[in-house]
Structure 1
Amino acid sequence: MSTMTSARVTEVLTRLHQDAEAADHPFMQKMMAALEASGDTIEQAAAQLIADERANYPAVYNDHAEHFLSVTPDYGRFLYAMARATKATRIVEFGTSMGISTIYLAAALRDNGGGQLVGSELEPGKVARARAHIASAGLADLVDIRQGDALETLKDIAGDIDLVLIDGAWSLYLPVLKLLEPRLRPGAVVLAENAFDEDYLGYIRDPAHGYVAQTLPIDAGRGNEFAVRILD
């Protein structure tokens, strides 16, 4: 039986997705109302947020400390499928949040025969909650969540990386990718949620940098970018 369909994992994910919807729906409605009132496109709003992060990180990022801002169930299943398809044994996640995406990826590691997921999360409260959720799902032995600035916590990844999920502070997408890039094996998959940073998109879509990339139709509008490393 797949770990994804085990009673333990299913119960935890169902509860967390319900909690995420309850916690984030009012926040997202407020954000969308503000966006409509401003007349900005989502790309314009994202550009402003990225500029604010760069000027005042981590304070801007920590404004969302109580929100899940998690992947959807559809995208979570896609994460599991990608980790299985790549036979991943070493996964890196930037932006663990409450651990929902981590559970999908760790379940794939279990079904791949084992491995390690190294996650990075800035906010201490989220780290504690993510660890508890992952333990409840029975996957703690596969996961190492590191609290702090990802440019420090992800410096010492040992061995080749099979899959990366980037879903943290938007202003750090490209710096985190460049930090991990020397450890990406040929064929490694890089997935970025909310990939609205033009610097990141321009870099990963330029074939000269060694990737094939495109935007995914899953959760259209959320800026889900998919890339495969084609250079060693």
Structure 2
Amino acid sequence: MHDPAVRDLLDRLFAEAERDDERSPGRPAPTVTAQERSNLLEDIYMPISARGGDLLYSLVRGIRPETVVEFGTSYGISTLYLAAAVRDNGTGHVTTTELSATKVDAARANLTAAGFRDLVTVLPGDALTTLTAVAGPIGLVLLDGWKDLCLPVLRALEDRLAPGAMVVADDSTFESMSDYLAYVRDPANGYVSVGFPVEDGMELSCWTGR
């Protein structure tokens, strides 16, 4: 994580992400599909915050999961933090998924530049389809794709979560995350969940295995 080449790459990507407002085509209509949204916003980075990235890195270092799953690769900023932690742990693999073909290519290039390409599998396509092939037990999940899909993706992964697995959902302060938060904060659903105060919020949920 402290390799100058990795830090420089992250700094460049965060600097590009600061121009998201300039490049933004505006909010997509609510009637468009997830694929259409991805195509429309293919130039928008939509990254986690740097502090959120540091939190992800710390969680992976502490949990030492063999299997890490990410929903919503974008340009790979969050993926770089996950991969850096896996590399520094000396064990594990990250599987991430992205709808935008442009972003898939960019993320793969960024991971290669950081020297992490062998640690990450980038799956192009719909997460509800691509992630069905990921074998458990899954030790950590990052949900950072379209907010209306975070809960369906989590439900699709639940039967492969390891007891004690950590599920991290970014942008937890968004209104579109209300159904997700209601689900993970209900103890009957098998999670111990708490909000973490990074930019736009992160929800940290530990899977108890019910």
Structures share fold, TM-score greater than 0.5: yes
What does the per-residue CA deviation read over 1:175-202, in whole Å, with 9 as the maximum and x for residues that have no partner? 1001111111111110011233222111
Question: Which residue of the partner structure matches residue 77 of structure 2?
Answer: 100
Question: Which residue of the partner structure matches residue 55 of structure 2?
Answer: 78
Matched, 1:52 2:30: yes
Instruction: Give me the whole-angstrom Cα distance separating, in 2, the residues matched to 1:77 and 1:224.
Output: 12
User: Residues 108-147 of structure 1: matches in 2 within 5 Å?
Assistant: 108-147=85-124
Query: How does the TM-score come out when normalised to structure 2?
Result: 0.92
Instruction: Give me the whole-angstrom Cα distance separating, in 2, the residues matched to 1:75 and 1:57.
Output: 25
What does the per-residue CA deviation read over 1:51-109, in whole Å, with 9 as the maximum and x for residues that have no partner? 926x6333234322110000121111111001111112210000000001000000000
Question: Which residue of the partner structure matches residue 184 of structure 1?
Answer: 161
Question: Which residue of the partner structure matches residue 203 of structure 2?
Answer: 225
Single out whichever of 185-194 and 57-66 deviates more from structure 2.
Answer: 57-66
Identity over the aligned pairs, expressed in percent?
Answer: 43
Instruction: Give me the whole-angstrom Cα distance separating, in 1, the residues matched to 2:139 and 2:157.
Output: 11
User: Residues 161-176 of structure 1: matches in 2 within 5 Å?
Assistant: 161-176=138-153
Match of 1:212 among 186, 192, 206: 192
Q: How many residues align?
A: 207
Counterpart of 1:203, as a letter, is Y
Question: Which residue of the partner structure matches residue 203 of structure 1?
Answer: 183
Counterpart of 1:209, as a letter, is N
Counterpart of 1:52, as a letter, is P
Single out whichever of 200-209 and 143-152 deviates more from structure 2.
Answer: 200-209
What does the per-residue CA deviation read over 1:157-185, in whole Å, with 9 as the maximum and x for residues that have no partner? 11211100000111111110011111111
Q: CA deviation at 1:149?
A: 0.4
SS in 2 for 1:175: helix
Instruction: Give me the whole-angstrom Cα distance separating, in 2, the residues matched to 1:117 and 1:228.
Output: 19
Counterpart of 2:197, as a letter, is P
Question: Which residue of the partner structure matches residue 194 of structure 1?
Answer: 171
Contiguous gaps of at least 5 residues in structure 1: 35-48
Q: CA deviation at 1:226?
A: 1.1
Question: Which residue of the partner structure matches residue 20 of structure 2?
Answer: 24
SS in 1 for 2:80: helix
What do you get for the CA RMSD once the two structures are aligned?
2.0
SS in 1 for 2:42: coil
Instruction: Give me the whole-angstrom Cα distance separating, in 2, the residues matched to 1:128 and 1:60.
Output: 17
SS in 1 for 2:133: coil
8 Å CA contact 1:159–1:183 kept in 2: the answer is yes
Question: Which residue of the partner structure matches residue 43 of structure 1?
Answer: none
Which structure has the larger Rg?
1
8 Å CA contact 2:136–2:162 kept in 1: the answer is no
Counterpart of 1:212, as a letter, is V
Counterpart of 2:9, as a letter, is V
SS in 2 for 1:93: strand
Instruction: Give me the whole-angstrom Cα distance separating, in 2, the residues matched to 1:60 and 1:107.
Output: 29
What does the per-residue CA deviation read over 1:96-132, in whole Å, with 9 as the maximum and x for residues that have no partner? 0000100000000011112210000000000000000
Instruction: Give me the whole-angstrom Cα distance separating, in 1, the residues matched to 2:119 and 2:50.
Output: 21
Q: CA deviation at 1:25?
A: 4.0
